[in-house]
Structure 1
Amino acid sequence: MKSKKIKNISVDCVVFGYNTIEKSLNVLLIKRYLESETTSEILVDDYVLTGYHINEDETLDDTASRALKELTGLSSLYKKQFKAFGSPDRLLNDKDQIWIKNEGFNTRTVTIAYYFLIKTEAVNLHENKYNAKWFPVNDLPELGFDHEAIILEAYEDLKIKCLSEPIIFELLPHKFTINDVQDLYQSILGIEIDNRNFRRKLIHKKYIIPLDEKQVGVSKKPAQLYMFSKDVYDKMFEKNYLISI
Structure 2
Amino acid sequence: MKFEKIPNISVDCVVFGYDTITKSLNVLVMKRYLESETGSEVLVDDYVLTGYHVYENETLDDSATRVLKELTGLTNQYKKQFKAFGDPDRLTNEKDLPWIKNEGFNLRTITIAYYFLLKTEEVDLKNSAHQKKWFPVKDLPELGFDHRHIILEAYEDLKIKCLAEPVIFELLPDKFTINEVQDLYQSILGIEFDNRNFRRKLINKKYIIAIDEKQVGVSKKPSQLYMFSKDIYKKIFQKNYLISI
Which band: TM-score by shorter chain? over 0.9
User: Which stretch shows the higher mean deviation, 149-158 or 209-218?
Assistant: 209-218
Counterpart in 1 of 2:45? 45
Q: Secondary structure at the match of 2:112?
A: strand
Give the drift of 1:128.
2.2
Aligned partners of 1:59 and 1:186: how far apart in 2? 35
TM superposition score normalised by structure 1: 0.96
Aligned-residue offset at 1:40: 2.3
The answer as to 2:174 corresponding to 1:174 is yes
Moved beyond 2 Å, runs of 4+: none
Equivalent AA in structure 1 for residue 30 of structure 2 = I
Q: Distance in 2 between matches of 1:4 and 1:234?
A: 39
Distance 2:100 2:144 in 1: 11
Q: Offset of 1:95 from its aligned partner?
A: 1.8
**Which residue matches 1:97?**
97
Structure 1 segment 27-66 matched on structure 2, within 5 A: 27-66=27-66
Work out whether 1:108 is the aligned partner of 2:116.
Answer: no
Structure 1: runs of 5 or more not aligned: 240-245
Paired letter, 2:213: E
What is the SS of the residue equivalent to 2:196? helix
- The separation in 1 between residues aligned to 2:212 and 2:126, in whole angstroms, is 36
Task: Supply the distance in 2 between the matched residues of 1:161 and 1:174 (Cα, whole angstroms).
Answer: 20
Q: Which aligned pairs between 1:56-95 and structure 2 lie closer than 5 A?
A: 56-95=56-95
2: CA distance between counterparts of 1:3 and 1:39? 34
**1:7 equivalent in structure 2:** 7
Question: 1 CA distance for matches of 2:185 and 2:16?
Answer: 14
**1:191 & 1:129 partners in 2: Cα distance?**
38
Deviation at 1:216, TM superposition (A): 1.1
| CA deviation after TM superposition for structure 1 residue 155, in Å | 0.1
Matched, 1:117 2:108: no
The whole-number CA distance in structure 2 between the counterparts of 1:216 and 1:102 is: 51
Alpha-carbon distance, 1:161 to partner: 0.1
Q: Helix, strand or coil: the match of 2:71? A: helix
- 2:218 aligned residue: 218
Q: Classify the secondary structure of the residue corresponding to 1:129.
A: coil
Shift of 1:187: 0.6
The corresponding residue for 1:192 is 192
Where in structure 2 are there 5+ consecutive unaligned residues? none
Residue type of the alignment partner of 1:146:
D
- In the other structure, the counterpart of 2:139 is 139
Alpha-carbon offset, residue 39 of structure 1: 4.6
CA deviations on 1:10-53 (whole Å, 9 max, x unpaired) are 00000000001111000000001000012520000000000010
Distance 1:40 1:122 in 2: 38
Say if 2:21 is the partner of 1:21: yes
Query: SS at the partner of 2:64?
Result: helix
